Structure 1
Amino acid sequence: MAGSGSFASESVPRHLIRGVLGFGAMIAAVALLPVFGWPALALIAVGMLALRGCPVCWILGLIETVSRGRLQRECADGACRLR
């Protein structure tokens, strides 16, 4: 797993699976609300757990996961930049 403070997953497919489960559970919660009532909203908790907290965090994690290994920080003469 990525270091603390990181939203990234170990791989892009794994991250996408988490997204499908998370967003799918939240969509199902809303869709099943008329059928099962308030208990259907428990699926929102499942979705949030799969997304590790919030949809925006999942999107940031996707960006980190895709860019891992492509962006590198280079520091010289007291100044750092991404390359």
Structure 2
Amino acid sequence: MAGNGGFASKSVARHVTRGVIGFGAIVAAFALLPVFGLWSLALAPVGLLALRGCPVCWVLGMIETVSMGRLQRECVDGACQLRSH
């Protein structure tokens, strides 16, 4: 998990920006239904694109991005655990 693998972004600001755009577009898609009808649902794919297709993965990526470099996996005699550095 350490490093920029998995779901992590290069910076917290970039990851938060993707989240604001993604979740904002998804919420707007449904909130604007009474005003624009089914056309507002066109915002949903924009939101999913910003979240890279998976809102849960975005949350996991936020956790990875925030903890990047602070958590290290250490394995001794077949037992692995996370340690803070």
Question: Could you state the TM-score of these two structures normalised by the residue count of structure 1?
Answer: 0.86
Deviation, 1:15, is 0.4
Q: Distance in 2 between matches of 1:56 and 1:25?
A: 16
- Counterpart of 2:53 in structure 1 is 53
Q: Structure with the greater relative contact order (CA < 8 A, sep ≥ 6): 1 or 2?
A: 2
Task: Write the mapping of 1:33-72 to structure 2, written as runs, cut at 5 A.
Answer: 33-72=33-72
The alignment-based identity, stated in percent, is 74
Q: Distance in 2 between matches of 1:12 and 1:36?
A: 34
Query: Runs in 1 of length 4+ with deviation above 6 angstroms?
Result: none
Q: Distance in 2 between matches of 1:77 and 1:56?
A: 33
Aligned length: 80
Structural RMSD (CA):
1.3
Task: Write the mapping of 1:1-83 to structure 2, written as runs, cut at 5 A.
Answer: 2-3=4-5, 6-83=6-83
